[in-house]
Amino acid sequence: MSGDGLLMRAAQAFLAPLLAVALAMVVGDLLILTYGESPATVYALLLEGTWGNWYGFGQVIYKTMTLTCTGLAFAYAARAGLFNVGAEGQLAAGGFAAALVGLLLPASIPGVIAVPVCIAASMIAGGASGAIPGVLRARFGASEVIVTIMLNFVLLALLNYVVASHMAVPETLHTAEMNAGFVARLGSLFPVFAGSAANLTIVVAVLVAVFAWWKLFRTRSGYELRAVGLQPDAAEYGGIPVSRVWFRAMVWSGAFAGLGGINFVLGYKHYYEEGFAAGSGFLGIAVALVGRNHPLGILIAALLFATLSQGGLAVNALVPKQLVDILQAVVILAVATTVPEVQRLLRKTAASLVRRDAAEATP
């Protein structure tokens, strides 16, 4: 029986995402054919441009960092039953805060102090951005979906205003370069990565994924959070302060998204630039869905979506790179539709197995 349970769990975890990726590939085939190219050639080029050479792989690692953070952000709130659609704005706020602190710190401060301070700033800014929808939901029952969407526009417009009119280097959309808080590129440690944007903040992303797993599945607050996500009324009856759990979940969720900003700011360009990670916030939703809201799944899904993003650039000569934008959206739609469907099917199968077992047991 335990074997069946394990099989069932594996099917639940992997069946829907695999189906979704397969469906996306079929859609991709059709689109590539409309462009008069061969799907096999395009997919081969996509793999060659991402996992086939060190530069491409470095770019995949770079994109994985931000997507891991925004994926964790969506998943953490989703585990509490909330939809944080605001990672886009929280990510920008986190990146801005890291750059601001890096600008204010004197150049003489050693990296071991400056980097953690900048990281903390990004998480605090992201967390504060998440706290607004959190408190509106917990205190006033305002839909966190709408508030986070609207707040995306508000945060981005405010940041654009502050940067454009007070901090930008003339003729650009970015601030001056920071004095302190640089994180080394992978290229400076492993020369094969030279030229790619991959940097050591990927280690921070992996650590924070482990932290999120520990917090969700190994602590009392994580247990409470998941209980609230499954059944808020039952959790409330069981003595869990639901409003407080929701508020904390949104703060942590925002903090994870804000952390994603250090990838570009501390690890790559060393300044804040308008629109530096446009789209990564929304893609985080896809990452969390495919990763089934589990930190390990999110790391794998982030790699997948980073590969697609980078692969789009690799195949641009044959088909428009927007092909991957379509594929990514198809994956989201397919996962969102197949997850409930697969679960219904599995439940049905399980029920019929139980019936069959029962029928065989009775002589």
Partner 1 sequence: MILLAFLLQTIRIAIPYLLAAAGGVMSERVGVIALGLEGMMLAGAFGAVLGSYYGGSAWIGLVCAMSAGILVALLLALCTLRFRANQVVVGIAINLLVIGATRFFLRLAFDSASNSPRVDGFGGEGSGLGVLASFSNPLVWLGLIALPALWWLLWRTPFGLRARAVGEKPEAAATLGVNVSALRLRGLLLCGVLASLGGAYLALDQHQFTDSMTAGRGFIALAAIIFGRWMPMRVAAACLLFAAAETLQIQLQGAQLVPSQFVELIPYVLTIVALAGVVGKSVPPAALGKVE
State the residues that interact with partner 1 by CB under 8 A. Answer: 31, 34-35, 83, 85, 136, 140, 142-143, 145-147, 149-151, 153-154, 157-158, 160-161, 165, 282, 285-286, 289, 320, 322-326, 328-330, 332-333, 336-341
> In the numeric block, which tokens belong to residue 230?
């499954």
Instruction: Give the shortest CB-337-to-partner 1 separation in angstroms.
Output: 4
Per-state percent for the chain, helix, strand, coil, to nearest 5: 80, 0, 20
Residue (5 or 340) nearer to partner 1, CB: 340
In three state form, how does the secondary structure of 134-203 look?
HHHHHHHCCCHHHHHHHHHHHHHHHHHHHHHHHHECCCCCEECCCCCCCCCEHHHHCHHHCCCCCECHHH
Instruction: Give the shortest CB-321-to-partner 1 separation in angstroms.
Output: 9
Using alpha carbons only, what angle is made at residue 13 by residues 8 and 14, rounded to the nearest 5 degrees? 100
Residue (267 or 284) nearer to partner 1, CB: 284
Residue (215 or 321) nearer to partner 1, CB: 321
In three state form, how does the secondary structure of 226-275 look?
HHHHHCHHHHHHCCCCHHHHHHHHHHHHHHHHHHCHHHHHHHHHCCCECC
Residue (204 or 332) nearer to partner 1, CB: 332
In sequence order, the 6+-apart residues with CB closer than 8 A to the CB of 87 are 70, 73, 74, 253, 257, 260, 280, 281, 282, 284, 285
Using alpha carbons only, what angle is made at residue 238 by residues 235 and 244, rounded to the nearest 5 degrees? 55
Instruction: Give the shortest CB-164-to-partner 1 separation in angstroms.
Output: 8
Instruction: Give the shortest CB-186-to-partner 1 separation in angstroms.
Output: 29
Query: Distance between CA 255 and CA 211 in Å, rounded?
Result: 13
Instruction: Give the shortest CB-133-to-partner 1 separation in angstroms.
Output: 9
Residue (46 or 323) nearer to partner 1, CB: 323
Instruction: Give the shortest CB-107-to-partner 1 separation in angstroms.
Output: 32
Residue (103 or 151) nearer to partner 1, CB: 151
Residue (188 or 322) nearer to partner 1, CB: 322
Instruction: Give the shortest CB-49-to-partner 1 separation in angstroms.
Output: 19
Instruction: Give the shortest CB-319-to-partner 1 separation in angstroms.
Output: 8
Residue (13 or 149) nearer to partner 1, CB: 149
In sequence order, the 6+-apart residues with CB closer than 8 A to the CB of 20 are 290, 330, 331, 334, 335, 338
Answer for the pair 125, 93: CB distance below 8 angstroms, yes or no.
Answer: yes
